[in-house]
């Protein structure tokens, strides 16, 4: 996949998935850089088959009601709030 150059369309598609706006200059710069970096990651193709068995311990427990942030504390860093709610843009 990295034999062909990373295109501006691909970078824009990834930026859309990640919800990050990019300028045209940034898109161009990232095309070149991503090409090099993804090519470098190709070296992972040769990793030998590995046994990934790990001993895991279940640390889950039943829910217990405890102390939490107050509504005021939870809202204190919000750029916009209204009637005790976080206020944000409309859903698509």
Partner 1 sequence: MTINAYITEESISGSDSGQLSDATIAIKDNISTKGVRTTCGSEMLADYVPPYDATVISRLKQAGATISGKTNMDEFGMGTTTETSAFGPTKNPHDHSRVPGGSSGGSAAAVANGDVEYALGSDTGGSVRCPAAFCGVVGLKPTYGLVSRYGLIAYANSLEQIGPITATVEKAAKLLEAIAGKDEHDATTRSLPIPAYTDAIGQDISDLTIGVVTELIEGVDEDVKDVFEAKCNELAARGATVTDISIPALEYAVPAYYVIAMSEASSNLARFDGVRYGISGGYDGDWNDAFAKSRDAGFGDEVKRRILLGTYALSAGYHEKYYEQAQSARSHIRNSFDNAFDDVDILASPTMPTTPFKLGESLSDPLKMYLADVNTVGANLANIPAISVPAGTANDLPVGIQFMGPAFEEKTLFKVASATA
For the chain, the maximum distance between any two Cα atoms, rounded to a whole number of angstroms, is: 57
How far is residue 3's CA from residue 13's CA, in Å, rounded to a whole number? 19
Interface with partner 1 includes 90 (CB under 8 A)? Answer: yes
Structure tokens at 53: 């068995």
Binding to partner 1 (CB under 8 A) within 15-34 occurs at 15-22, 26, 30, 33-34
Pick one of 3, 4, 24, 48: the residue that binds partner 1 (CB under 8 A): 48
Buried b (16+ CB within 10 A) or exposed e, 54-89: eeeeeeeeeeeeeeeeeeeeebeeeeebeeeeeeee
Pick one of 73, 82, 83, 84: the residue that binds partner 1 (CB under 8 A): 73
Minimum distance, C-beta of residue 52 to partner 1, in the bound complex (Å): 5
Instruction: Kindly list the residues in this chain that would bind partner 1 in the complex (CB under 8 A).
Output: 1, 11, 14-22, 26, 30, 33-34, 36-38, 40-41, 43-45, 47-52, 59, 69, 73-74, 76-80, 86-92
């Amino acid at each position: 996949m990295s034999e062909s150059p990373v295109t501006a369309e691909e970078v824009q598609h990834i930026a859309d998935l990640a919800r990050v706006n990019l300028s045209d200059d940034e898109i161009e710069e990232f095309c070149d850089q991503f090409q090099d970096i993804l090519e470098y990651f190709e070296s992972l193709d040769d990793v030998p088959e590995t046994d990934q068995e790990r001993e895991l311990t279940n640390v889950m427990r039943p829910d217990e009601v405890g102390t939490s942030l107050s509504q005021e504390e939870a809202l204190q860093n919000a750029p916009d709030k209204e009637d005790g709610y976080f206020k944000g843009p409309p859903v698509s």
